[in-house]
Chains A and B, each alone.
Chain A
Amino acid sequence: MAEVLVVVEAAGGAVKKVTLEMLTMARSLGTPAAVVFGDAEPLVAKLGEFGAEKVYVAAGDDIANYLVAPKATVLASLVKDVQPAAVLIGSTQEGKEIAGRLAVKLDNGVLTDVVSLDADGTATQVIFAGSTIVKSAVKGSVPIVTVRPNSLTPAPQAGAAAVSTVDVAVGDKDKLATVVNRVAEAKGARPELTEASIVVSGGRGVGSAENFKLVEELADLLGAAVGASRAATDSGFYPHAFQVGQTGKTVSPQLYIALGISGAIQHRAGMQTSKTIVAVNKDTEAPIFELADFGVVGDLFQVVPQAAEEIRKRK
């Protein structure tokens, strides 16, 4: 069976969930083979647990110090060597960028934001604010697919995870954009927004940055990530990185709780495919109630602290 290359997303020495999803997805098309950019050592065992038969490793300054292009070059030469059945990449900003370059290098089609993949290569995408489902395919020989986090449940399967080092031979054209600084921002212990199984988001109704503590408190009690509407990020209540919606992150958790969010179409675009939606809003006409499985019409400053207290009691 041909290999399926899975580009590993990792942070802080840990494999991200989307990688495990991709390794799971890859099995229907061929033999999963992971591709690690950077230090693979802390990742190999986990990749093996989820079915990676091989782990290709490309590391060094040429990979680390320049934006995107070197990774695409390495990946393109790997594709030529192993002739994979497909290349799966996380649907993150960098993942899509690598996919774009790879598509040009291989003169092959690219499908972004894919949520499932059939054995014949047919991909499913959810588009237009979650309103339309599209089945598409790549005509060329090597489908390049970016996979949206939280699209499926990763299933363990033993794989050999045989490590093989890849030559990094990149040219000057790959070294035009130099990363001069990487600044880590404190993230706390909360799960990552796009991968969390519960997301608690606050909107304009939360009223201030100070009040967002209320959203965080509920999130922490539920082991959830915190999100925000654009009105909340634009008003400086919460950092922009946490915006959910059309121009922010797309999330698809088991549970999405919207606090003081009206449910504008652009906000829905980022959360409409959540499994269960709960809303608290003082306006009974708020459009968010049209899609909420459970809604409380009320003042969030009453409802949320009471809910938090109640959860504590029941724990």
Chain B
Amino acid sequence: MKIVVLVKQVPDSGAERNLRAEDNTVDRASANNVINEMDEYAIEEALRLQEAHGGEVTVLTMGPQRATESIRKALSMGPDGAVHVVDDALSGTDALGTSKVLAKALERLNADVIICGAESTDARGQVLPHMLAERLGVAALTGARKLTVDGSQLTIERQTEEGYEVVTAATPAIVSVWDTINEPRYPSFKGIMAAKKKPVETLSIADLGVDAGEVGWAGAQTTVKEHTKRPPRSAGQKVTDSGEGGVALVDYLSSEKFV
């Protein structure tokens, strides 16, 4: 089974994140850049598939040069190799453009199963998996909290507002996962050492047959016109309970007309 796992580098969501004043793009220079959290679950799921069904796991990332740190980190968990699409012309690319580039790279890789995170913590788009499925003409099993494989048949459980649904498709397919699906492993020391020697192929957009005009600022179908910092919320009233805290709480709620 040939498995490709999509990994995006994002600014750490546990710290302050900013957009750059000059072009409204994510300020990656000042951020602590990490693997998008959901993608760690995707890597784990890919490795479990490999353990059960054999084959090869390849990491695919589109991102700037510094994304190599995240690629090595991903490889230290166990995948066999990686493909890094990196090109100056990609700066400013929106979700639609990203899907164009990743789809081209995926066409070359010819995977049976593509696994990715359900959403990235910076964009929170949840749009990439179906964009890719649409471009590639493969099945999309998205938002999985559980994945089972029987031969070439994949079945997922996905949570909905009303409960959950069970969805099935034959390979080739793209599966996106939430953090409820598994518990990602920590890289071992051996894994970290081995990752340094694993092959990482870098591809430019020319290698993929993508035109500079289709991506980056020129190709973007969306523009961010401006951004402002929301004033931080300020602390209000704080009372210490000395037997009447519950009453004080209700007093406040009724002064605000909630009770």
Residues of chain A at the chain B interface (Cβ within 8 Å): 11-12, 67-69, 72, 92-94, 96-101, 103-105, 107-113, 122, 126-140, 173, 176-185, 187, 192, 198, 222, 240-241, 246-247, 254-255, 264-266, 269, 272, 276-278, 280, 284, 289-299, 302-311, 314
Contact = CB atoms under 8 A, between A and B. Distances in A.
Contacts of A183: 163-166
Contact of A67 (B164, B167, B245, B248): B167
Contacts of A107: 96, 221
Contacts of A138: 221-222
Nearest to B166: A181
Given A103-B96, A110-B96, A294 B165 contact: no
A204 B137 CA distance: 44
B226 A135 contact: yes
B111 to A, nearest CB: 15
Contact of B252 (A67, A108, A278, A291): A278
A2 to B, nearest CB: 19
Contacts of A294: 236-239, 249, 252
Interface of B: 13-19, 24, 37-38, 94-96, 99, 118, 121-131, 133-135, 137-143, 145, 155, 158-170, 173, 178-180, 220-230, 232-241, 244-250, 252-254, 256, 258-259
A277 to B, nearest CB: 7
Given A96-B126, A96-B127, A178-B169, A110 B222 contact: yes
Contacts of B221: 103, 107-110, 138-140
13 contacts: A100-B130, A104-B96, A109-B96, A110-B222, A133-B228, A139-B220, A139-B222, A182-B166, A246-B13, A247-B38, A294-B236, A306-B244, A314-B254
A181 B256 CA distance: 45
Contacts of B37: 247
Contacts, number: 282
Contact of B238 (A99, A264, A272, A292): A292
A103 B127 contact: yes
Contacts of A93: 118, 126, 142-143, 158, 160
A280 B228 contact: no
A276 B253 CA distance: 10
B259 A311 contact: yes
Contact of B161 (A133, A135, A192): A192
B233 A309 contact: no
Nearest to A122: B225
Given A135-B226, A296-B249, A68 B254 contact: no
Interface of A is mostly: mixed
A136 B222 contact: yes
Nearest to A246: B13
Interface centre among B126, B158, B232 (most CB of A within 10 A): B126
B87 to A, nearest CB: 21
B228 A100 contact: no
Contact of A97 (B96, B130, B164, B249): B130
A132 B163 CA distance: 33
Given A67-B167, A177-B173, 13 more contacts: A101-B130, A103-B131, A109-B94, A122-B225, A131-B17, A133-B230, A135-B226, A179-B165, A180-B168, A291-B232, A296-B245, A299-B241, A308-B246
Interface centre among B17, B223, B248, B250 (most CB of A within 10 A): B250
Contacts of A136: 222-225
Interface centre among A12, A67, A110, A308 (most CB of B within 10 A): A67
Given A139-B223, A265-B14, A297 B238 contact: yes
Given A67-B142, A132-B230, A280 B249 contact: yes
Contact of B159 (A241, A265, A303): A241
A302 B121 CA distance: 37
B161 A92 contact: yes
Contact of A100 (B128, B169, B236): B128
A222 B258 contact: yes
Contacts of B127: 96-97, 99-100, 103, 110, 112
Nearest to A233: B180
Contacts of A293: 236-237
Interface centre among B18, B133, B244 (most CB of A within 10 A): B133
Contacts of A304: 246
Contacts of A131: 16-17, 229-230, 232
B227 to A, nearest CB: 5
Given A104-B134, A198-B258, A307-B250, A112 B140 contact: no
B129 A289 contact: no
Contact of B220 (A96, A105, A109, A246): A109
Nearest to B37: A247
Nearest to A129: B13
